[in-house]
Amino acid sequence: MRQRWITVGVCVAAAAALAAFLHTERMDPPSHPLPAVPGPGLALDGEPRGFVTRTRNDIGYAAWVTGDVAHVGALRLATNSPAWPARGLGDATGVEGLLAFPDALVLTVRRNPLLSPSDRLLVVLDPATGATRWTADYFDQGSDLAFYEDVVVLGSRAARSTRGLDWRTGAERWSLPDPATGEVTAAPISGPDPAVPLQDTRLFQIVHHDTLHTYDVRTGTLTGTLSLAESRSDAVVVGNTLVVNEFRRAVAYDVTGATPARTLVRADDQHSVTSVAGCGAGRICLILGGLPKVRPSLRAFDAATGRELWRAESPESHDTTIGTAGTSVFTAGALYSPTGALLSDDRDTWNSSPRPSLGHVTDGRLIELAYTESYSSDTAVRVSWVSTADGARTRLGSVTGDPRSCSWTERFLLCARRGALGVWALA
């Protein structure tokens, strides 16, 4: 199992009026619905809200809140029947994250700190039965989570420590105290997709804003340090390269110290660096966001040398997530070839809000969810396959549900809809 990071916080995508583009054929859902998978579904009591779903091996997992209690359940997607019944997990105000690993289901929930020991709770469950293995309290402010093959790493600035916890029991295997003074911030490892584990055993932290510490995550042993120019900016690790986002510029450091630091990009007064991620073997991608009416730019760099490989215009969007499928790159509903050529070429919708979304299915195929109104539980969503080779779309049909809640396999689509879960077959 590879590392997984859950960013503590909520990314809220704003929806705007769509009259300017409702005429476009791209965003108009087709008349024929996708075939719903018949079956009893998952029994849900009360008025469930805030659904998050994940899939693995044609099993769908869902988490939600009813009243002030978090719940989780699992569905066999082929028969739309419970793999195990829904169960309550204790007090919660909302679901923050859900990850489906081969050997564990990981849930994070928000709680009222006036009624609970902390404002966040980590829950690790058995994916085969839904039984809770262990839980851990933590606070949103200054905390970070990482998931490795051997341990779960929980960094808490409130507790001024970083701990390695056993996957099966939650028992502490090692602990790193924060320095007596100064701050500690995590430098997460960027991967192509949260569903794809990283083959890495290193843990990175920036101490006092000017020193990178590298640890062996299996033992908590310090294995290296690297001096940095003082910065209070976000950072991410891509391979052996630490990229520090300093708003107007992005600076790259070799974590081994073998080569000097280099500036990847320096933005002008109309742009800033809004997103940085790994985007394929040995590549770093970043988005330079612009002021209103200034087109954002997606750029790719060689991670080892810092050389710019290509740049392309990018759609305006509140979602600046960078995804990969093989050697192709996608962001904000736009797909790019390995050389930066725009493959999904519907530029007439680039100022549309909300933007259609793309998600990884296989290295050769993406799923596109396009919709013509603001997010809700009964939004009409058009579903298409998109080829990563040439951007060609195969329209599959439409569903009614909340597109923010959807997850998928090569065969099925799972979404929340009007206080329930819907399962559809993907031809």
As a whole number of angstroms, the distance between CA 284 and CA 247 comes to 16
The answer to whether 293 and 328 have CB atoms below 8 angstroms apart is no
Element at 275 (helix H, strand E):
strand 271-278
How many whole angstroms from its chain centre is CA 193?
7
How many whole angstroms from its chain centre is CA 376?
20
- Which of 399, 403, 404, 400 is CA-nearest to residue 418? 400
97 three-class SS: strand
**Other residues' Cβ atoms within 10 Å of the Cβ of residue 199:** 8
What per-residue confidence (pLDDT) applies to 3? 38
Q: What is the pLDDT along the chain (427 residues), one digit of tens a residue?
A: 333 344 333 332 323 322 333 333 344 444 599 999 999 999 898 899 999 999 999 999 999 999 999 999 999 999 999 999 999 998 999 999 999 998 899 999 998 877 778 888 999 999 999 999 999 988 877 788 888 888 999 998 888 999 999 989 999 999 999 988 888 999 999 865 666 566 789 999 999 999 999 999 999 999 999 999 987 788 999 999 999 998 889 999 999 999 999 999 998 888 899 999 999 888 999 999 877 777 889 999 999 899 999 999 988 877 788 999 999 999 988 999 999 999 975 555 555 556 788 999 999 999 999 886 666 678 889 999 999 999 999 999 999 999 989 999 999 999 999 889 999 999 7
How many whole angstroms from its chain centre is CA 138?
20
What per-residue confidence (pLDDT) applies to 316? 80
- Positive/negative CA dihedral, 346, 347, 349, 355: positive
- Phi-psi region for residue 81, left (φ > 0), alpha (ψ -120 to 50) or beta? beta
As a whole number of angstroms, the distance between CA 92 and CA 114 comes to 12
Place of tokens 């309290």: 137
**Other residues' Cβ atoms within 10 Å of the Cβ of residue 354:** 25
The answer to whether 215 and 170 have CB atoms below 8 angstroms apart is no
Strand partners, 369: 357, 383
The answer to whether 275 and 262 have CB atoms below 8 angstroms apart is no
The amino acid present at 55, given as its one-letter code, is T
**Other residues' Cβ atoms within 10 Å of the Cβ of residue 206:** 23
- Which of 128, 95, 129 is CA-nearest to residue 6? 95
What per-residue confidence (pLDDT) applies to 320? 84
As a whole number of angstroms, the distance between CA 260 and CA 284 comes to 17
- Is this model's pTM higher than 0.85 or not? yes
DSSP 356: P
What per-residue confidence (pLDDT) applies to 192? 59
Provide the edge-to-edge strand list for the sheet that holds 323-325. 323-325, 328-331, 334-336
As a whole number of angstroms, the distance between CA 147 and CA 154 comes to 9
As a whole number of angstroms, the distance between CA 41 and CA 424 comes to 12
Strand partners, 186: 205
The answer to whether 65 and 86 have CB atoms below 8 angstroms apart is no
What per-residue confidence (pLDDT) applies to 344? 78
